[in-house]
Every structure is written in structure tokens, then in C-alpha cells.
Amino acid sequence: MTQDLFGDMTDDRRTGRELLCADAVLLRGFATQDAPAILEAVAQVAAQAPFRQMTTPGGFRMSVAMTNCGPLGWVTDRRGYRYASRDPVSDLPWPAMPEVLQSLAQRAAAQAGFDYFMPDACLINRYEPGARMSLHQDKDEPDFSQPIVSISLGLPAIFLFGGLRREDKPLRMPLLHGDAVVWGGSARLRYHGITPLKQGSHPLTGDCRVNLTFRKAS
């Protein structure tokens, strides 16, 4: 783990900590060491619950392919956005959240000042070149006092980090392989998105970006 490499040094720049805004922290390289194990866990999840492009309530097919693990998974279809305990494709429960993922999310949250984070939902997003995520708020969870932990692997992406109103001009922040973002509190309902992924190749993921977001959804 990155913080162990730096021993007792707590200087923010050395530990790769950047404050995006109040209550949103970027932990550069937090997951780099664990990336092979994380990607192995993602492959195991996807073997049981394959990546699929879901449909928005408005009838559009998302460019990002998604799957989930843990007791709850985020889904969208013509009926709306929600959390569900079963994969609608197979009607089976989502795969259990692998320990390596659970522990990673808890450690990232604790680094950002959220102790005792117990995620019960892990949404896994896979972006191929051209895939994007338009500006949105994460508001399908019942308790906005709980943070969200986001891990980026593979190809880099530009994260759009807006305000509490859709019209607020977003910051553009590159998210690189191994980066973690933890946000909560006053940042929890900020609009955010991902610009269309650029072509490229990453040694661990090939031509894609994988993003994991951990939430308490019950």
C-alpha cells in the first residue's frame, strides 16, 4: 500500500493527497500496488455477473458497461434508477464483494477521515474509448452522510467535478491508474461526470478504464 511506502511521512504532497473541494479528497496512487489483485477480483465478479450496457429511464443505452458486487447493485432500466439485490440479467444475487475490494474501500475512506465505512454496494464501470458518463448526482442512496469511494484503474480519464447545481461550471481533473477519490459531507451531492475516454493501451487493462465505486446503499 502506498501509505506504507512512505512510512511515517504525513506531508500531504508526499502521500499524494489533494483536496478537490471541502469533503472531497483525491488519493493519488492509493490502489496502484493492489491493482493486479483488484482486477483479478473484478474478473471473478464479471465471470458471474457479466458487464452489460444498461438502459436509462429515458431509453438510452449507456456507453459505459457495468456490473456490481456486494449485497446491493445499482441498476437502471425503463423503470428508473435503483439498487437491487439481484442481477436482473440472471435473477441471481450479485456476487459477494471480494475481501480485497471491501478492505480497499474501507482503508481509502479511513484515509479521508471516514472511519467505519461499511459499503454494501460496489458498482464496477468499464469504459472503452469514446465511452462517457454525463453530469449526474449520486442520489439513489438513502443516507447522504455516508461517503462514496471511487477507484480508477487502467486508462486515464477526465473527471468533471461540478457544483450542487447542474449549471455550475465543472473542474476538469485527470484520474489516473490507481487514483482513489473519497467524497462525502458537503460534496456528496455535487454533479460529476467523465468526458469521452481517449484511445490508449494500459499494461493491466488493455484498451479500457475500470472504475469501482463503493457505497452504503441501505
Residues in the site for ligand MD6, rule: CB under 6 A? 125, 133, 138, 148, 150, 181, 183, 192, 194, 211, 213
Kindly tell me which of 93 and 202 has the beta carbon lying closer to ligand MD6.
202
User: How many other CB atoms are found less than 10 A from the CB of residue 85?
Assistant: 13
Sign (positive or negative) of CA dihedral 209, 212, 213, 218: positive
**Residue whose Cβ sits closest to ligand MD6:** 150
Helix (H) or strand (E) run with residue 195 in it: none
Find the shortest distance in angstroms from Cβ 183 to ligand MD6.
Answer: 6
Q: What is the DSSP string of 104-154?
A: HHHHHHHHTT-TT----EEEEEEE-TT--EEEE----SS-TTS-EEEEEEE
Furthest CA-CA distance within the chain: 51
Q: Which does 125 bind (CB under 5 to 8 A by kind): ligand MD6, Fe ion, none?
A: ligand MD6
Find the shortest distance in angstroms from Cβ 162 to Fe ion.
Answer: 11
Kindly tell me which of 97 and 208 has the beta carbon lying closer to ligand MD6.
208
179 binds Fe ion (CB under 5 A): no
Which residues does 135 contact at the CB level (< 8 Å), separation at least 6? Answer: 160, 162, 166, 170, 191, 192, 193
Find the shortest distance in angstroms from Cβ 74 to ligand MD6.
Answer: 10
* Closest residue by Cα to residue 185 from 132, 113, 118: 113
Q: Which does 45 bind (CB under 5 to 8 A by kind): Fe ion, ligand MD6, none?
A: none
**Per-residue x/- track, 138-177, Fe ion (CB under 5 A):** x---------------------------------------
Kindly tell me which of 2 and 211 has the beta carbon lying closer to ligand MD6.
211
Kindly tell me which of 94 and 191 has the beta carbon lying closer to ligand MD6.
191
- Residues found near Fe ion in the complex (CB under 5 A): 138
